[in-house]
Amino acid sequence: MSEGKGIERGKIEKIDKIREIASEIKKSSYTTVLTGAGISAESGIPTFRGKDGLWNKYRPEELATPQAFARDPKLVWEWYAWRMKLVFSKKPNPAHEILAKLEEMGLIKSIITQNVDDLHERAGSRNVIHLHGKLRDVICSSCSYKTEAEEILDKTIPPRCPECDSFLRPGVVWFGESLPPDELNKAFSEAERSDLILVIGTSAVVQPAASIPLITKRKGGKIVEINPDSTPLTSIADISIRGKAGEVLTAVFDEIKL
């Protein structure tokens, strides 16, 4: 088949998949969404494992584990202060905005996100479950004291707790730590009651998030994956489309509005 024919066929396939995804969303009675760093890539926030991913430049075991924080709280805080300033300066992209519109239209019920940014909320999404915590939360490493990132960003790091003088830490889940049980249970029950889950912008390698779509599948629901690359989920997804979240969701939204 000539080069041109190949590209032609690829384009037609993509349009068919867009149409299929739009019709699955319209047909579904309970759709949830699982998002990863890829959905914020078009907002200018680096992913973790892509070609220019954060874990290619930094070693997670030095920056995103309780041991790293105990060993060098200043280094860990320098990295998180950099990420906080970066994330807080970015804006939601069309992918976040379209998911918020679909929620308003009653076409999606909740977003389960692995992301610690607040771009879903800033785009207007209301039912957002944060499996890995939030960059805006700052908590005490010993007592129940909690504050906002903005409160400490201009102070000396590592900041100390005004109640017990221990080090404060970012309110995110580090490798080796357990996920917030309420959020995780909410995510499992959402996946359980869904007949469709849209999996957008995740490499699907970090557990237990990566197993959430399987819960929907096991209950007879469908998986739609939106990602420029294939992932371990691709082979079991009912529809897997190669593409950027902003572009694909814009095309799907146009199809739904028709």
Give the list of residues 6+ apart from residue 27 with CB closer than 8 angstroms, or none: none
Residue 42 within binding range of ligand APR, rule CB under 6 A: yes
Inter-helix orientation angle 94-104/245-257, to 10°: 30
Q: Which of residues 109-168 bind ligand APR (CB under 6 A)?
A: 114, 132
Chain-centroid distance of CA 139 in Å reads 21
Residue 90 within binding range of ligand APR, rule CB under 6 A: no
Closest CA to 73 of 154, 167, 210, 205: 167
Q: How far is the CB of 251 from ligand APR (least distance, A)?
A: 13
Give yes or no: 96 in active site. no
Interface characters, 109-148, with Zn ion (x: CB under 5 A): -------------------------------x-xx-x---
Q: Which of residues 188-217 bind ligand APR (CB under 6 A)?
A: 201-203, 206
Return the residue of 28, 34, 36, 179 that touches ligand APR, per CB under 6 A: 36
Could you tell which of ligand APR, Zn ion, none binds residue 28, using a CB distance below 5 to 8 A set by kind? none
- d(C-alpha 100, C-alpha 108), whole Å: 9
List beta partners, residue 196.
31, 222
Q: From the candidates 96, 120, 130, 132, give the one annotated as an active-site residue.
A: 132
List beta partners, residue 130.
113
Residue 97 within binding range of ligand APR, rule CB under 6 A: no
DSSP letter at 178 equals: P
Residue 118 identity (one-letter amino acid): D
Residue whose entry in the numeric block shows the structure tokens 């082979």: 235
- Binding stretches for ligand APR (CB under 6 A): 36-39, 41-42, 47-50, 53, 114, 132, 201-203, 206, 227-229, 231, 244-245
List contacts with Zn ion (CB under 5 A): 140, 142-143, 145, 161, 163-164, 166
